[in-house]
Structure 1
Amino acid sequence: MTEATVTRRDWIGGAAATAGLLPFAQPASARRIAASDRVNVAVIGAGGMGAQNMAKLTDQNVVALADVDFAHVAKSLVDDTGAVRKDRVALKAAYDRAEKFANYRRMLDARKDIDAVVIATPDHHHAIAAKTAMERGLHVYVQKPLTYTVREGRTLLDLARRNPKLVTQMGNQGHSGDDGRRTVELIRGGVIGTVREVQVWTNRPIWPQGEARPAPVPKPASLDWDLWLGPAAVDWGYHPDYAHFNWRGWVPFGVGALGDMGAHLIDFPVWALEPGLPTRVETRHSRWGGDDDVWDGKPPADLSSYPLASITTYRFGNARNGPLTMTWYDGGLMPPTPDAMPAKARMNPDGGVLYIGDRGMLMHETYGEKPVLIGDGVAERAAAVPMSLPRIIGGRDGHEMNWIRAIRGQEAISSPFSIAVPLNETMILGMVALRADQPIEYDGGAGRITNVPDANRFLDRQYRKGWSI
């Protein structure tokens, strides 16, 4: 077999026999890892985004992989010609050495040498995979959105608080970037004065959304579709509009554009302005996928895909510096241009954040990149604001290794669950308001919607038999 030719048999090996479940092990304590040690890392969801994450960790011990389709994993390592990508040679070697499993719960029971787990599955698996790993004393790096529901996030935060030795990280890599950290310093330093309004936008979705559910087609031979469905309480047959990339827009599997990009955009106003959890959320939107020609203003009974575009307005009544309004736009929608915006200033249609203060404005792109100050005297005030936040080695590209260094006690963790869960909850509440189809009033302390009692069911979800958190 050449380096570029990887067959399903080569990848899966004996993994097909691992689909059965073993009883959960008793919670363990995280192994003490010295600064000079290599961390024993496993990955759940080894292709796609998981491969991007793991390519940053090849100097660690990659001991095990769990994936429902190793043919897809193999494709993540090669270019269009079938040759191994130059930036994936080390990853392929690490993957070749690792033991392979179809079922991540089987892997976590079988391999007692794992120290830490990267979780890069579709959204509907995140919380179950993370909780299962943490209960075994394993450090976790979980892709965004951290969880599918509010309750799942609070469950993980409680588990992290009860196990403070575990190092947790959400995969919102912009949180480690120098530009984003400087943005937070400038906002907190009062450069644009008091901020009462924030506008956030993204070009997502870039996947099927606002569409009716397609008819099922035969699945690829390499894909374990039952395991891919996992906790999703639906009996949907396979279609390529779901797996492997397009699942984000389908209600049982993903959390839409807010779940995808909120962690890269909403992160910074939540961080800089410390607004707490929102007290009121309302979402306006285009049609739900699957609507028929008779539109009654309500989502279809059989929710299929999320609306193609939405605008979500968050009110933060308990924000640190007074009431704050943040508005989210997706589906290519953008906020209006403020009167004070210079003609040459361009709002990047791919995504960005605009902070409107009483002494100026600040605008940056996705991940907190390229902050621009707007207004009289802002440059002079910015120059006087000292650096107050630590910088992460490698910046945005060092987010994965920050997790490793934190496990080894070398560096503070960038985006632990104590930070990630409230951010994630804010994002997910936009989807709750979408499904409630009316404004919701939220009591963050109690974790309950107070004005629409029936909408509290959207803070949780049903799980398929055999899967729960």
Structure 2
Amino acid sequence: MMAGKHDKREAATMRKVTGPMDGMTRRDWLGGAAIGAGMLAMPGSAVARRIGRGDRVNVAVIGAGGMGAQNMAKLTDQNIVAAADVDFDHVAKSLTDAKGAVRADRLALKSAYDRAARFADYRRMFDSRKDIDAVVIATPDHHHAIAAKTAMERGLHVYVQKPLTYTVREGRTLLDLARRNPKLVTQMGNQGHSGDDGRRVVELIRGGAIGRVREVHAWTNRPLWPQGEPRPAAVTKPAGLDWELWLGPAAVDWGYNPDYAHFNWRGWVPFGVGSLGDMGAHLIDFPVWALDPGLPTRVETRHSRWGGDDDIWDGKPPADLGSYPLANVTTYRFGNAKGGPVTMTWYDGGLMPPTPDAMLADARMNPDGGVLYVGDRGMLMHDTYGEKPVLVGDGVAARAAAVPVSLSRIRGGREGHEMNWIRAIRGEEAISSPFSVAVPLNETMILGMVALRADQPIEYDGVSGRITNVADANRFLDREYRKGWSL
């Protein structure tokens, strides 16, 4: 799922994406990673340090600015021993305000970064630093899987920002690695999974507060970055930016433009997974969690024009892909859902589902993002991250009040997601969103982008990890890697 020339991708041979999920039981699939680090031997690596309750964890970060700085600011009571980034000028800006003064909430992080060893290339960091216990990965999407796999093969615990991976094969590779090394503590950065509101939503849906759910709608106001646009011209890169390392595994030779780095990469095909990859982990997480639908069996995406289209648009992706379409509507059919078939529709680009007739006059659908569950005995709606749930329908409130608390609560809630990972490494708390949970969620998200690229509905066999009705679309489950990089 990598953009170079379209005919080059068509000529590439797609490896069969199977293995990690074949023959898995539901317990294998949904079970969390074992808590506690223990002694851990990995092929070709040293034995991981034993970490006990209350110990400080030696943490490294890959992608230390932007979202990485937000993550690391919550881990300053640990030992931040190393940081890898292609642009430490950008990292410095993530610690300061508009006037250049260090932000009060980033003082501790700046001090930690000043003490940490610095690397441009995370591969060199792994080769030279043997004191790392755990790694936060907050790079652009196209680096996630390679960085995570490299860390895990060295016996390191990983926290990986969403989307977990760029392709289906990458996700299954990481899941297989996590399953073979159960003492590794893995976490995806979908922090809403640790929130109290989101966990209550799951309890209410499972507890039958709105009856049987057959229909779900999820929406976001993203993109907040360029999409539906042709590639801009290359310009001179900032002096402190290593552009070749930033491109990394992306199999394109694009010159630098600020429309790509350091935030806008999300909308460009070689680097990001669009709005669905960016926000799906915060929104469709909860229906996937609550309804236990398994992987989708059919996916179809309708969309506005692709970036890079000619004036005459035939609806198909352009030969040289640039940015994703500005708006998408993706319909998922879960034919094997535990409680019977479920249809979930995703809207982005500012699109939203129509307001149901039964919606209360004062219950407003948040245009920034939300999820609506339609049950046969009522409806439930919540904002992004599962927050601010609203119940709609006669008798729903009374049924909801009778639903008991059944899920554990994470210390610190949504804001405690990073420290939950640390506490799980120390054996103090169960992990919130391990790869056993994150990979099928991520795969569901990515399949929406596969259907977009396929330009027609796809039928999917989740056991084999294959598209069964459009053989050629299976190439979008994998991607080509730039020379010198591989999974």
TM-score (norm 2): 0.91
1 CA distance for matches of 2:54 and 2:407? 26
- Which structure exhibits the higher relative contact order, with contacts defined as CA atoms closer than 8 Å and separated by 6 or more residues? 2
Q: CA deviation at 1:162?
A: 0.5
The equivalent position to 2:252 in structure 1, one of 220, 234, 259, is 234
Please state if 1:278 is matched with 2:296: yes
SS in 2 for 1:313: strand
1:318-348 superposed Cα distances (whole Å, 9 cap, x missing partner): 0011000000000000001111112221000
2 CA distance for matches of 1:145 and 1:36? 30
Partner of 2:281: 263
Conserved in 2, the CA contact under 8 Å of 1:282 and 1:314? yes
1 CA distance for matches of 2:321 and 2:360? 43
Q: CA deviation at 1:94?
A: 0.3
Q: 1:25 to 1:386 in 2, by over 3 A?
A: closer
Q: CA deviation at 1:295?
A: 1.2
Please state if 1:71 is matched with 2:77: no
Q: CA deviation at 1:25?
A: 8.3
Partner of 1:356: 374
Counterpart residue identity of residue 207, structure 2: G
Q: In structure 1, list runs of 5 or more residues that go unmatched.
A: 1-23
Counterpart residue identity of residue 180, structure 2: R
Conserved in 2, the CA contact under 8 Å of 1:30 and 1:165? no
Partner of 1:441: 459
The equivalent position to 1:115 in structure 2, one of 86, 111, 133, is 133
2 CA distance for matches of 1:226 and 1:214? 18
Structure-to-structure mapping, 1:16-95, within 5 angstroms: 26-95=44-113
Alignment coverage as a number of residue pairs: 446
Please state if 1:182 is matched with 2:200: yes
Q: CA deviation at 1:256?
A: 0.2
2 CA distance for matches of 1:25 and 1:316? 38
SS in 1 for 2:123: helix
The equivalent position to 1:460 in structure 2, one of 478, 481, 486, is 478
Partner of 1:324: 342
SS in 2 for 1:339: coil
Partner of 2:410: 392
Conserved in 2, the CA contact under 8 Å of 1:41 and 1:63? yes
1:180-233 superposed Cα distances (whole Å, 9 cap, x missing partner): 000000000000000000000000000000000001000000000000000000
Partner of 1:166: 184
1 CA distance for matches of 2:48 and 2:465? 30
The equivalent position to 1:334 in structure 2, one of 330, 352, 358, is 352
Q: CA deviation at 1:35?
A: 0.6
Please state if 1:424 is matched with 2:425: no
2 CA distance for matches of 1:345 and 1:34? 47
SS in 1 for 2:451: helix
Conserved in 2, the CA contact under 8 Å of 1:144 and 1:263? yes
Following TM superposition, the consecutive aligned residue runs of length 4 or more in structure 1 with deviations greater than 6 angstroms are none
Partner of 2:39: none
1:24-49 superposed Cα distances (whole Å, 9 cap, x missing partner): 98134432101121000000000000
SS in 2 for 1:367: helix
1:258-303 superposed Cα distances (whole Å, 9 cap, x missing partner): 0000000000000000000000000000000000012122100100
1:58-116 superposed Cα distances (whole Å, 9 cap, x missing partner): 00000000000000000000001111000000000000000000000000111000000
2 CA distance for matches of 1:292 and 1:269? 38
Please state if 1:298 is matched with 2:304: no
Q: 1:320 to 1:25 in 2, by over 3 A?
A: closer
Conserved in 2, the CA contact under 8 Å of 1:30 and 1:166? no
Structure-to-structure mapping, 1:305-316, within 5 angstroms: 305-316=323-334
The equivalent position to 2:221 in structure 1, one of 194, 203, 208, is 203
1:99-141 superposed Cα distances (whole Å, 9 cap, x missing partner): 0000000001110000000000000000000000000000000
Q: In structure 2, list runs of 5 or more residues that go unmatched.
A: 1-41
2 CA distance for matches of 1:315 and 1:177? 27
SS in 2 for 1:430: helix
2 CA distance for matches of 1:139 and 1:369? 29
Partner of 2:35: none
The equivalent position to 1:103 in structure 2, one of 103, 109, 121, is 121
TM-score (norm 1): 0.94
2 CA distance for matches of 1:375 and 1:336? 17
SS in 2 for 1:403: helix
CA RMSD after TM alignment:
0.9
